[in-house]
Amino acid sequence: MRSKRLTVIESESAFMNNYTLVILIVVMVAFMWWSSTSRKKQMAKMEQEKRDQLAAVKPGEWVRTRVGFWGRFVDLDGDIIVLETTDGHEMYWEREMIAEIGGQPPLADTEQADALETAVETAEEDEKVLGLDEPTGTDEQQK
C-alpha cells in the first residue's frame, strides 16, 4: 500500500484555505470587540447625560418613572431620588427608574376638577328637589 502524499499544489491550496479561515476569524473577533467597545462608550455617555440632567433638576419639577408614576422631585441622594405624590407622601426611587424629567403629568387641571365638582353638586341638588333620594313609603304599602 502506498501512502497518499500531497502534491505541492494541493499543500499550497490547503495552506491558503487555512490562512483565509484564520483571517476571517480574526476579522470577526476584531469587529465584535469594536462593536462592544462602541456600545459601552455610548452607554457611558447616556449615563453621564442622565446624571447631569438629574443634578440640574430643581425641587418641585415633575418626574415620570419607567413604570408610569408621576411625582414631584424633592431630593437627590446619590442614586436614590425622593419623589412626592400629589397627596404629600414621599417615595424613594432608584435613579435608573427615572424616565422623564420636567414633563407635565396627565392629571386633570384644577379648573376642570372644580367644574366637575360643581356639576356633581348641582346634580345632587337636582335629585333632592325631585325627591329621588327620599323614601316615599310606597314600598311599605306594596308589602
- Residues 47-76 pLDDT 10s: 888 888 877 888 888 888 889 888 999 988
Extract the C-alpha cell encoding 110: 384644577
Tell me which amino acid residue 48 is.
Answer: Q
The verdict on 45 and 65 lying in the same domain is no
Confidence of residue 42 (pLDDT cuts 50, 70, 90): very high
For the question of whether the overall pTM of this predicted structure is more than 0.85, the answer is no
SS3 content of the chain, % helix, strand, coil (to 5): 55, 20, 30
Q: Is position 8 within any domain?
A: no
CA distances from 55 to 61, 75, 76, 82 (A): 12, 10, 8, 13
Q: What is the CATH number of the domain that holds 80?
A: 2.30.30
pLDDT, residue 76, reads 86
The verdict on 23 and 40 lying in the same domain is yes
Question: What total number of domains does the chain contain?
Answer: 2
The verdict on 66 and 110 lying in the same domain is yes
Instruction: Return the H-helix or E-strand segment holding 76.
Output: strand 70-77
pLDDT, residue 123, reads 59
Q: What is the mean pLDDT of residues 10-26?
A: 78
Calpha distance 120→125 (Å, rounded): 9
The verdict on 102 and 79 lying in the same domain is yes
Place of cell 500531497: 6
Domain range for 78: 61-116
Extract the C-alpha cell encoding 119: 356639576
The verdict on 72 and 104 lying in the same domain is yes
Three-class SS of residue 31? Answer: helix
Give the residue from 6, 29, 56 where a domain finishes: 56
Extract the C-alpha cell encoding 102: 420636567
